Structure 1
Amino acid sequence: MSSAARKRLVTALLLAPAAVWLLLFLVLPFVAIVVFSLGERAPAGGYQPALTLAQYANLPARAAAFWNTLVLAPAGALACLLIAYPVAYYLAIKVLPQRRLLLVALIVIPFWTSLLIRTYAWMYILGGRGIPAFLELVGLPDVRLINTPGAVLLGIVYGYLPLMILPIYISLERLDRRLLEASADLGATPFSTFFSVTLRLSLPGMMTGFSLVLILLLGEYLIPTLLGGGKVFFIGNALVDLFLQSRNWPFGSAIAVALVGIAVVLLLAANRITARLSGARQVDLL
């Protein structure tokens, strides 16, 4: 066997476990969902074989779930980005190296607690005995915070902010400081240096964090359920209802396929925007 053939064989053997894992737990389940989406609901619920696009034609029936998801998910990801960037910039640029590990650990520590428990805490804070009770004491009665889109957005930012901070921090921490010094030596102001050098070179980290958070939010179920109180439905809530309660598997599968298509389109758009703004030929977000 030649040297090139041996290298190809070793590469194939190293990639085989990951390829089998992806095939069994990603590709095949998605193929099954696509097949289900082309079927019909059985009389007793579940799946009945057929070949029809009626489920996709019925997607507007869940327009409210799509609307809430496509508005609040990008808004939540953008809010996380606007809050995360100054934090990541401070950690990577302003903080001494010996203190960074401690501060990064403080950001990650909330992940040690279940998201369910943290969301329940926000239910109390935003509920009648939390902030509204305090506002009533200062003369602002009947302020409603829980079961609103604002409460869902707040829960999204709180729950997913660390996932946005870390990619941006890594991109800024790896930034070559000599570029900043060269920009200053050439007469650029700190403001100009930030926008022309720092922000531009950190765009891949920003879009990676944005894409990661956005993908997770597209399928979010817990936060809208607890902080939205059944009044702010996401696509994840619709899927749970269709698969577990209504047992309309074909319609739920059609919604799931549409959700995957939306996620792919958003990722491709983010990849192209990042590549164009950063001047790079390719940014690996997929």
Structure 2
Amino acid sequence: MSISTGSVWVDGSSSRMQRYNIFRRVNWGRFAVVAIPAFWLGIFFFIPFLVVFKISLSETAIAVPPYTPLLEWDLEEAYINLKISLGNYLYLLEDAFYLEAYLSSIKIAAISTFFTLLIAFPIAYLIARSDGSRRALLLALVILPFWTSFLLRVYAWMGFLKKNGIVNEFLLSLGIIDQPLVMLQTDFAVYLGIVYTYLPFMVLPLYSALEKMDMTLLEAAEDLGCRPAQSFFLITLPLAIPGIVAGCLLVFIPAVGEFVIPALLGGSDTLMIGRVLWDEFFLNRDWPMASAVAIVMLIVLVLPIMLIRNGQGKGEAI
């Protein structure tokens, strides 16, 4: 009897020791590093996404909130009614207005991203090739716009571009133009505003990629007879591709859904999906339709990211 009891006690102690050892072997620092961002994404992205997706499957109603419930039940009568409507998504496919808004947003975002890249690349290259003190100063100048209000910067461009603004007054004083140019409330102003606003988001990833580049590669290419243009396309540009991809994504994705810049700098002909979302939510109070528009926009933005990541994974495998 005593032997059996001792055996049971030893077995129980051994199992507790095994669990304790497993607990100790867990890398809690690494777990915290992964768990905290996962918790943050779950609270501020995944749960709101589910809420928006749920609303997109409902119908508009004169109520607070202005949509029908997705699930109805009555415990006394013992019934549960699930009401799912795909009408909002079908209407998106049928109405050409929404397709035009998506295409216009993608076009404006793509053109703005292209010009942002053209301007940001030489800036990032200059910063990467500069010495310590000069590099710190240039980086500070790039980051400086973040210290001011976004709306204040956009309103400043309105003062520059209006008919009696600084740009027109300067051109008129030089005699380059005879009458003020119409620059505000145009697509040009929207492009200019997006490029200016998101330029740091392109410069910093490019600088990060170019700063790691071994400059002796350029010297070796020059010794082998490569001209500067050849060295750029054969060495600098391929090594900067990770920064180019990261910068383009950081500019293109928020530019597609941009609302403030088109609303303040663009005209009535500037159609972007951000303004459509605003109108559906706050003017039409059609929350289900606005949610469907947002879900489709998210899918449109996520697909290129998945394709790029898939292409990068295949490239690394090769």
TM-score by length of 2: 0.80
Q: In 1, are the aligned partners of 2:163 and 2:180 still within 8 Å (CA)?
A: no
Q: Which has the higher contact order (CA 8 A, sep 6+)?
A: 1
- Between the aligned residues of both structures, percent identity stands at 38
Q: Which residue of 1 aligns with 2:105?
A: 69
Partner SS, residue 207 of structure 1: helix
Deviations 1:240-277, CA, capped at 9 Å, x for gaps: 2212221111100101011110111222344456678x
Q: In 1, are the aligned partners of 2:58 and 2:288 still within 8 Å (CA)?
A: yes
Instruction: Pick closer, same or farther for the CA change 1:136–1:208 going to 2, 3 Å.
Output: same
One-letter amino acid of the counterpart of residue 251, structure 2: V
Aligned residues: 279
Q: Is 2:212 the partner of 1:188?
A: no
Q: Which residue of 1 aligns with 2:293?
A: 255
Q: Which one of the candidate residues 195, 199, 215 is aligned to 1:177?
A: 215
Separation (CA, whole Å) in 1 of partners of 2:222 and 2:23: 49
Q: Which one of the candidate residues 219, 239, 252 is aligned to 1:201?
A: 239
Separation (CA, whole Å) in 2 of partners of 1:177 and 1:4: 48
Q: Which one of the candidate residues 103, 106, 122 is aligned to 1:86?
A: 122
Q: Which residue of 2 aligns with 1:151?
A: 189
Q: Which residue of 1 aligns with 2:304?
A: 266
Q: Which one of the candidate residues 116, 123, 132 is aligned to 2:151?
A: 116
- Extract unaligned runs of 5+ from structure 2: 1-19, 70-82
Q: Which residue of 1 aligns with 2:67?
A: 47
TM-score by length of 1: 0.88
CA RMSD of aligned residues (A): 2.4
Q: Which residue of 2 aligns with 1:32?
A: 51
Separation (CA, whole Å) in 2 of partners of 1:281 and 1:157: 35
Q: In 2, are the aligned partners of 1:225 and 1:233 still within 8 Å (CA)?
A: no
- Extract unaligned runs of 5+ from structure 1: none
Q: Which residue of 1 aligns with 2:138?
A: 103
Separation (CA, whole Å) in 2 of partners of 1:143 and 1:14: 54
Separation (CA, whole Å) in 1 of partners of 2:171 and 2:215: 47
Instruction: Pick closer, same or farther for the CA change 1:134–1:63 going to 2, 3 Å.
Output: farther
Deviations 1:189-234, CA, capped at 9 Å, x for gaps: 3322221111101100011000011111122111001001443132
Partner SS, residue 58 of structure 1: helix
Q: CA deviation at 1:38?
A: 1.1
One-letter amino acid of the counterpart of residue 47, structure 1: Y
Q: In 2, are the aligned partners of 1:207 and 1:274 still within 8 Å (CA)?
A: no
